[in-house]
Structure 1
Amino acid sequence: MTFSLAGRCARTGMLGAVVTTSSIAVGSRCQHAAAGIGAALTQHMTDPRLGPLALDLLRRGYSAENVIKALVGATPRSDWRQLAVIDAYGRTAAFSGASNKPEVAEAHGKDCVALGNIVRSKDVPFAMVRAFEAEPGQPLAARLIAALKAGDDAGGEFKPLVSTALVVADKQAFPYVDLRVDSAADPIATLARLWQEYEPVADLYVTRAIDPDSAISPP
């Protein structure tokens, strides 16, 4: 009952992930990203420990494919897990265990990988990939949200969506964007609105951290 996408912006090198589900507070469990390293998704009977572990393995030089193999091999009951990884070069890998409930699908595209489980159609992740690839000149956050909307339009979940989350990593150890909707009637629309509000000040908050003397507060 979750669909998600991890992606990379070839123009800026930013990495990020977006996810939505019919359970509360999905952002505390499923999406992970690190600047210059990659992004990871972990869902379906989610083990939140696997996201940071995936990023650590990428940091150590593992390929995306070998990261997934290592996670599956080291995880008890990996048959319950659905996982995806993208590295800093846009290479992807994914895994859907045998105990994942249908419909279950994975889709790989240029600089992106999408997952879906307990969704209405296997086309959900493929629709997300198509939307992500459609406008490569747009900010990564906007492309990730567009992918989420496309997944919902392609069938989405059987239950009403409740929560969604977006994370984007740029050059710093902290996220460039980290937005979460924990409980809402239309979480994707709410996330899109939050990004519209945050986009004008995103660079400012980075400047405040690394060069506070030059930071100008928003009106």
Structure 2
Amino acid sequence: MHLRDGAGAVHSQNITDPRLGARLLDLLEGGTPAPEAMDRVVATDATAPFRQLVAVDAEGHTAIHSGPNALGTVGEHEAPGAAAAGNLLASAEVPRVLVQAWNDATGPVEARLLAAFEAAMAAGGEAGPVHSAAITVVSGHGWRTTDLRVDWSDDPLAAMRELVEQWLPQRDDYILRAEDPARSPGYGVPGDDR
């Protein structure tokens, strides 16, 4: 996942080449709308038939490329400000369900992403077992304010739900500690007299 404040979000998957995500994100940061950026990257990449790319720019424009050599069942869905695509899916409908759940959810971005993940999994998720999950968020502070991963778990959805529940109550304190340590809450450790 490639994220940049003020630019957007890009994901490179299937037989992935992370350099394509970085190229797309650079174009978005330069002001190129997601559909045009996607067209430019795909047109100049000889391996594009093997790739799946998703982009959402800072204005909410979306673009998806699913090459004809993407593996297994492929699905994609776009809505203003949201896009999802997948390969090796249990059903081509999974991305539509994910985007709909994102749009229907309320609360912090992390909670909405978790709701979307839960809905996608309930719709069948991947055709095979899912062992990993990630939630990454930028929010205008210059770094990833949330960057949670679960790797090689028998139940990554439950593990991610637990991480989000632990993280959200303290997320804003960590942002404040970075931006204004003198005003931030104390850590509750010896030597911390706040």
Task: Give the TM-score normalised by the residue count of structure 2.
Answer: 0.92
| 1:44 alignment counterpart | 14
Larger relative contact order, structure 1 or 2 (CA cutoff 8 Å, min sep 6): 1
Structure 1: which 5+ residue stretches go unaligned?
1-30
The answer to whether structure 1 residue 147 and structure 2 residue 116 are counterparts is yes
The answer to whether structure 1 residue 160 and structure 2 residue 160 are counterparts is no
Residue 118 of structure 1, CA deviation: 1.0
Matches within 5 A, 1:1-219: 31-135=1-105, 137-219=106-188
Number of aligned residue pairs? 188
| SS of the residue 2:18 aligns to | coil
Aligned partners of 1:218, 1:166: CA distance in 2, in Å?
25
Q: Provide Cα deviations, 1:35-55, integer angstroms capped at 9, x if missing partner.
A: 121111110001112222221
Aligned partners of 1:132, 1:215: CA distance in 2, in Å?
31
Aligned partners of 1:134, 1:182: CA distance in 2, in Å?
27
Aligned partners of 2:187, 2:83: CA distance in 1, in Å?
35
Residues 82 and 95 in structure 1, CA contact (< 8 A), matched pair in contact too? yes
| 2:191 alignment counterpart | none
Q: Which amino acid aligns with 1:112?
A: A
Residue 218 of structure 1, CA deviation: 4.5
Aligned partners of 1:123, 1:47: CA distance in 2, in Å?
25
Structure 2: which 5+ residue stretches go unaligned?
189-194
Give me the identity figure in percent: 37
Aligned partners of 2:20, 2:52: CA distance in 1, in Å?
10
Q: Which amino acid aligns with 1:214?
A: R
Q: Which amino acid aligns with 1:52?
A: A
